[in-house]
Structure 1
Amino acid sequence: MNKLYQRTAAMLLLTVTTACGQHVTGMTRVPPPVPQVSVSAGQESTSTAEELVVWSYYDTADGDKHFASLHPDFKVKSVMHSYEGIVDDLIQSAITGETPDVVMLDSSHAGRLNGIDILDNLRNSLYSSKGYEDRIPKNMLPVYSNLAGDKLMALPTELPNAVTFYRADILEENGFPSEPEALAVYISNPQNWVDMAMKLKEKNIYLFQHYTDPFETAALSASYLDGELRFNRGSQAFLDAFYVSREVRSHGLALRSMIWDSSGQQAIRSGQLAMLYAGTWITGQLKSWAPDLTGRWRAARLPLNLYGYKEGAMMAIPKLSRHKAEAWEYLKLTTNLLQPADQPGGEAYLGGQDMNALKTSLAPQNKGIYPTPLDTRLKELWDKKGVEIAESDRPIPELLQEMGQQMEAMTAEERRIMKEYLMRSAEGK
């Protein structure tokens, strides 16, 4: 590993969390990896010679079976980790040299991994990944690349998008736009969004789970820092979103239950909750929670003319994987990046809406994404200050500016180190 990158990577891992969830202060060094043991599929020199080890935070049984059916000389050993702990476990495995062959991560983990050198570069000739990378919109590549953008760390299982899910029948019955694009245009105006919520509340129908929903929806469109490592959440859309959050809180326009709770799921079934702002994968959850509502839900782009994404699985191959060729085959079988962009994707639950077309149109518009190793620390401040802004009577622009200044001040030294690294990386290209 390049010595400059070794030193820089050690400095960039600034906020690694331990297995118990506590933050390590200062800097945590990741030692150089131990030499890789190369074992081919036909060898029997170790007990794991014909075993592809896959780590994930969700059930991969279908993908495992598919791979095993095409590669009978290998069996897949899947190991389930917690969503919160899988990154810590992966970093520890790089230290001990006992890494998996494939690791399934979430796109929200990107900032914790793109500053350390433990994942293989999928641009290496072994992987022939260009056709897959070409399907990832340029503005979304930072999610799947290292901090400098010169290595491809992961592939998404599918491109993540965030949308507005809504009950088309309820909106239509109450005189509001019910077609996806018409609704998106209508709620691009923050006052329209508030007025809709006010009118529907009269019938005990809600558009928000909590008053934080509007500014957290805006947060789907932009990371904490931009590509120049400056505060990235001070645009007019964020001012508008905090205004809506204040109105929701002031007028009691939130359900005050979450969809992950039984009360929130009952509100979905009863029609009391008529709008969600989430990743496109939530379609499957809606089917599970409210199968009788088939045909009544639709999806539109986000309010306030925003484009964003909400999590989404991605796959990587650790540098110490013992079966890289087979690991690459597993990735190719699991991603849908090469599906034709014009392949029909009618979703019966959403009234036959073509979700493939919607996702294809939205993904290239995601332009505010730049994960960094500082995100874990910045999230804590965002969560705290976001609530304070929504609950305050002080001018929103003033408070948002203060938050940005605080974020930049508390990470000044780390950002200086990162900028120096990025500058040297650019010079070396």
Structure 2
Amino acid sequence: MRTVKFMISLILILILVACQLPEEKEYQSYFSESPSLVSENEINNNKLIEIWTPEDVVSNTLRYFSHQYEEYEFEVTVVDRLDLVDTYYEALLTNNEPDLMIISAQDVGAFSGLDMFETLNVEPYYNHQFFSKRPTRELEKYINDDGEMYGFPIHFFPYVTLYRADILGEYGFPTDPDELAAYISDVDNWLNMVTTLYEDGLYAYESTQTILEWALDTTYPFDGDYQYLYQAEPFSNLIDVLIELDRLDYDLDLSIWRTPGHQALKNDRLVMIQGASFMDDIIHDWFPEQEGKWRVTTLPFGMRGIDKETGLVATIPKNANNKSIVWNLVRALSDDLLNLHALSTNHPLFDQDNLGEFYLEVLNQPAIGKPSMLDKTAQLLWENSVYRVNQGYPLNETFFQQTHNQVIEQVRNNRRVLSNN
């Protein structure tokens, strides 16, 4: 009954808000180290294992994993991201859920309060050797108020700053990744760099809209106690930067995904950008002649986080069949995808070594917030603010305070709904 009431509450909240690839390898399971999930008498005769995911990161792993369970059939269904929350809710409410639900890091908050998934940080799922190889900060995001891990992160790209070390060095700015990270963590330092470069026709950011977008794409607006975090540091530091850039009236519109920004990148004018760690491949493919001229460091202003849009979290519904096999698959997926970061040592774009170590360090640093059932509330209101930035609204304290007030008021309404159910 508690679960049904909670689901009804979530649906009511959504209505309110709306009104506003690895190589093949031999797989070794560690599951035998833990107690069996089910007794021999409870083994389900269902030989079909269903997997739902917004992105097919599963098929490559299944190429070798399925050989361990040849009597089983694995069926992967790619769910449209726009329909994911509704599709998964309906499946959970009607007991038609698959055996493995993979959820985007952007949407996982909508499921964070449900008592409908296996708890993964206790036996028989928990294995110290396996868990200890993952970034602790990432694991902690998916532990609910009761200390139960409802989801396991299997895919995550840290958001980082990519910069032209050769050009920054010409202007006397730090080029060592650690030194530059310390320098741009200070708002005044970052603005000084931006202003100095701008005077010579060089650019250290794409646009104010882009800065706000990556800030929203890498953070969660609430902490574990549902306290709103965007009015406090470090997010407030970023807002101060946006206000100052608007006052300076630089009026940059250099998104690298559009012609002006792409050309600025090509012509050595755009010398610093923020993006997910896979941006190294994209820039290298675009401009191989810039090989060895770039380096990578952390985000400015003390910001940290992953790319929520590409991040993926595995959950096992309590009604799933063959849970031991499903968990072994989650572990295999996690190992394969983690190797994208952990085994990375260097990249031809960068004049820099030990990238895997750097990315794991970033993933282990504190990020803003954790997924919550209130995320969609803030997301829609902040998306409206991004739209207004695009329309040329002046960025001042009033602009951002209005958004803060809207979020806080909507959260108050949502809590009222929850308390009445």
TM range (shorter): 0.7 to 0.9
Residues 245-269 of structure 1 deviation map (CA, whole Å, 9 limit, x = unaligned)? 2343454546524334466445444
Residues 142-175 of structure 1 deviation map (CA, whole Å, 9 limit, x = unaligned)? 53234x2432122112554322122222322333
* Residue of structure 2 in register with 1:357 after alignment: 357
Cα drift, residue 219 of structure 1 = 4.3
Give the partner amino acid of 2:279.
Answer: I
Q: Secondary structure at 1:212's aligned position in 2?
A: helix
* Residue of structure 2 in register with 1:414 after alignment: 414
Residues 10-52 of structure 1 deviation map (CA, whole Å, 9 limit, x = unaligned)? 32444448xxxx96669xxxxxxxxxxx9958x5xxxxx4443
1:93 is aligned to 2:91: yes
Residues 358-379 of structure 1 deviation map (CA, whole Å, 9 limit, x = unaligned)? 2332233224322222211212
Q: Secondary structure at 1:53's aligned position in 2?
A: strand
- TM-score using structure 1 length: 0.77
Q: 1:419 to 1:360 in 2, by over 3 A?
A: farther
In the alignment, the residues of structure 2 paired with residue 162 and residue 343 of structure 1 have an alpha-carbon distance, to the nearest angstrom, of 15
Answer yes or no: is the 8 Å Cα contact 1:208–1:254 preserved in 2. no
1:294 is aligned to 2:258: no
Q: Secondary structure at 1:151's aligned position in 2?
A: coil
5+ residue gaps, structure 1? 27-37, 44-48, 422-429
* Residue of structure 2 in register with 1:336 after alignment: 335
Give the partner amino acid of 1:68.
Answer: S
Q: 1:150 to 1:377 in 2, by over 3 A?
A: same
Answer yes or no: is the 8 Å Cα contact 1:184–1:300 preserved in 2. yes
Q: 1:67 to 1:285 in 2, by over 3 A?
A: farther
Q: Secondary structure at 2:96's aligned position in 1?
A: coil
Structure number with greater CO (CA < 8 Å, separation at least 6) is 2
- The structure 1 residue matched to 2:187, chosen from 181, 190, 198, is 190
In the alignment, the residues of structure 2 paired with residue 177 and residue 335 of structure 1 have an alpha-carbon distance, to the nearest angstrom, of 36
* Residue of structure 2 in register with 1:374 after alignment: 374
* Residue of structure 2 in register with 1:348 after alignment: 347
Cα drift, residue 184 of structure 1 = 1.4
* Residue of structure 2 in register with 1:109 after alignment: 107
Q: Secondary structure at 1:273's aligned position in 2?
A: coil
In the alignment, the residues of structure 2 paired with residue 393 and residue 54 of structure 1 have an alpha-carbon distance, to the nearest angstrom, of 44
Answer yes or no: is the 8 Å Cα contact 2:185–2:301 preserved in 1. yes
In the alignment, the residues of structure 2 paired with residue 357 and residue 90 of structure 1 have an alpha-carbon distance, to the nearest angstrom, of 36
In the alignment, the residues of structure 2 paired with residue 66 and residue 254 of structure 1 have an alpha-carbon distance, to the nearest angstrom, of 52
1:170 is aligned to 2:184: no
Q: Give percent identity, aligned residues only.
A: 21
Answer yes or no: is the 8 Å Cα contact 1:135–1:338 preserved in 2. no
Residues 339-398 of structure 1 deviation map (CA, whole Å, 9 limit, x = unaligned)? 79x96631223234322222332233224322222211212222334676994475x3x6
In the alignment, the residues of structure 1 paired with residue 256 and residue 174 of structure 2 have an alpha-carbon distance, to the nearest angstrom, of 24
Q: 1:418 to 1:225 in 2, by over 3 A?
A: farther
Q: Secondary structure at 1:379's aligned position in 2?
A: helix
Cα drift, residue 330 of structure 1 = 0.9
Q: 1:253 to 1:197 in 2, by over 3 A?
A: farther
Give the partner amino acid of 2:55.
Answer: Y
Q: Secondary structure at 1:346's aligned position in 2?
A: coil
Answer yes or no: is the 8 Å Cα contact 1:227–1:370 preserved in 2. yes
In the alignment, the residues of structure 2 paired with residue 73 and residue 294 of structure 1 have an alpha-carbon distance, to the nearest angstrom, of 48
- The structure 2 residue matched to 1:63, chosen from 36, 56, 61, is 61
Alignment of 1:144-163 (within 5 A): 144-146=142-144, 148-158=145-155, 160-163=157-160
Residues 193-245 of structure 1 deviation map (CA, whole Å, 9 limit, x = unaligned)? 22322333345432222212344454466522233323211124344322322
1:237 is aligned to 2:234: yes
Give the partner amino acid of 1:93.
Answer: A
Q: 1:113 to 1:266 in 2, by over 3 A?
A: farther
* Residue of structure 2 in register with 1:35 after alignment: none
Answer yes or no: is the 8 Å Cα contact 1:215–1:238 preserved in 2. no
In the alignment, the residues of structure 2 paired with residue 335 and residue 53 of structure 1 have an alpha-carbon distance, to the nearest angstrom, of 18
Cα drift, residue 179 of structure 1 = 1.4
In the alignment, the residues of structure 1 paired with residue 251 and residue 205 of structure 2 have an alpha-carbon distance, to the nearest angstrom, of 5
Answer yes or no: is the 8 Å Cα contact 2:163–2:271 preserved in 1. yes
* Residue of structure 1 in register with 2:32 after alignment: none
Answer yes or no: is the 8 Å Cα contact 1:181–1:300 preserved in 2. yes
In the alignment, the residues of structure 2 paired with residue 6 and residue 129 of structure 1 have an alpha-carbon distance, to the nearest angstrom, of 32
* Residue of structure 1 in register with 2:117 after alignment: 119
Q: 1:51 to 1:5 in 2, by over 3 A?
A: closer
In the alignment, the residues of structure 2 paired with residue 291 and residue 117 of structure 1 have an alpha-carbon distance, to the nearest angstrom, of 50
Q: 1:325 to 1:220 in 2, by over 3 A?
A: same
In the alignment, the residues of structure 2 paired with residue 288 and residue 85 of structure 1 have an alpha-carbon distance, to the nearest angstrom, of 32
* Residue of structure 1 in register with 2:27 after alignment: none
Residues 46-70 of structure 1 deviation map (CA, whole Å, 9 limit, x = unaligned)? xxx4443222222323222132244
Cα drift, residue 288 of structure 1 = 3.8
Q: 1:168 to 1:73 in 2, by over 3 A?
A: farther
In the alignment, the residues of structure 1 paired with residue 248 and residue 200 of structure 2 have an alpha-carbon distance, to the nearest angstrom, of 14
Give the partner amino acid of 1:115.
Answer: G
Answer yes or no: is the 8 Å Cα contact 2:142–2:370 preserved in 1. no
- TM-score using structure 2 length: 0.78
Answer yes or no: is the 8 Å Cα contact 1:223–1:369 preserved in 2. yes
In the alignment, the residues of structure 2 paired with residue 124 and residue 72 of structure 1 have an alpha-carbon distance, to the nearest angstrom, of 29
In the alignment, the residues of structure 2 paired with residue 157 and residue 291 of structure 1 have an alpha-carbon distance, to the nearest angstrom, of 31
- The structure 2 residue matched to 1:225, chosen from 222, 225, 231, is 222
In the alignment, the residues of structure 1 paired with residue 319 and residue 110 of structure 2 have an alpha-carbon distance, to the nearest angstrom, of 18
Answer yes or no: is the 8 Å Cα contact 2:48–2:74 preserved in 1. yes
Q: Secondary structure at 1:157's aligned position in 2?
A: strand
Answer yes or no: is the 8 Å Cα contact 2:120–2:151 preserved in 1. yes
**CA-atom RMSD, angstroms?**
3.7
Cα drift, residue 86 of structure 1 = 2.3
Cα drift, residue 186 of structure 1 = 1.9
Give the partner amino acid of 1:98.
Answer: N
In the alignment, the residues of structure 2 paired with residue 365 and residue 258 of structure 1 have an alpha-carbon distance, to the nearest angstrom, of 27
Q: 1:161 to 1:410 in 2, by over 3 A?
A: same
Residues 296-355 of structure 1 deviation map (CA, whole Å, 9 limit, x = unaligned)? 222111111333332222222233322322211111101139979x96631223234322
